[in-house]
Amino acid sequence: MGHPILGEKSRAVTEFGSPALASLIEDMLDTMHALNGAGLAAPQIGVSLRVVIFAVESNPRYPHVEPIPQTILINPEIIPLSDAQESGWEGCLSIPGMRGWVPRYAHVRYSGYTQTGEFFEREVRGFHARVVQHEVDHLDGVLYPLRMPDLTRFGFEQELFPATAVMPE
């Protein structure tokens, strides 16, 4: 947080299936897995392109959430399917050690392109909806604290959740 790229709007991908795009996605997957993240956006590794990835298997950072299939999502669009919002705790690999209580749309449809340029869309709720909104925000220069209406619920993980084992960021 604080690096200029994380505050910028990223550019759309215009060439699919290229070695450069494959290399970017491989770097992103390696980074996300190494840091036990639920998702990652290209600007977080210094590349201002509209590429996000996410996946939740059994993730020690989010022990009580439903799995999300590993997804590579390029040039994404999100449409809320109702006005309803839910708040939940979020972390971000660009804000290590911290958590914030963030409202997000509870039910969304998202769409975008695969690495080879195939269009797809999904209708999702709950944590899956939260993760995709968090990651796509990165492409518009928005970090989760900017979505928080109440900064008293922003703090260090060890202070907010002292009973919880310390988790790698």
- Give the CA count within 13 Å in the CB-facing half-sphere of 46: 2
Q: Which is nearer to Ni ion, 18 or 56 (CB)?
A: 56
Q: Which segments of 43-106 are extended strands (E)?
A: 51-56, 68-80, 85-90, 98-105
Residue nearest to Ni ion (CB): 92
CB of 18 to Ni ion, least distance (A): 25
Please report the sign of the dihedral spanned by the C-alpha atoms of residue 79, residue 85, residue 86, residue 90.
positive
**CA atoms of 6 and 135, how far apart (whole Å):** 12
Q: How many residues bind Ni ion (CB under 5 A)?
A: 1
Q: Which is nearer to Ni ion, 92 or 124 (CB)?
A: 92
Q: Which is nearer to Ni ion, 92 or 108 (CB)?
A: 92
**CA atoms of 87 and 67, how far apart (whole Å):** 19
Q: Which is nearer to Ni ion, 16 or 36 (CB)?
A: 36
Nearest Cα neighbor of 122 from 136, 108, 134 is 108
> Quick check: 107 and 125 in contact, CB under 8 A?
yes
> Which amino acid would we find at residue 22?
A
Q: Does residue 135 have an active-site annotation?
A: yes
Quick note: the x/- pattern for Ni ion over 86-105, rule CB under 5 A, is ------x-------------
Residue 6 sits in the site that holds Ni ion (CB under 5 A) = no
Question: Which of the following is catalytic: 135, 157, 159, 169?
Answer: 135
Quick note: the x/- pattern for Ni ion over 128-167, rule CB under 5 A, is ----------------------------------------
Question: What are the residues binding Ni ion (CB under 5 A)?
Answer: 92
Query: Which residues carry out catalysis?
Result: 135
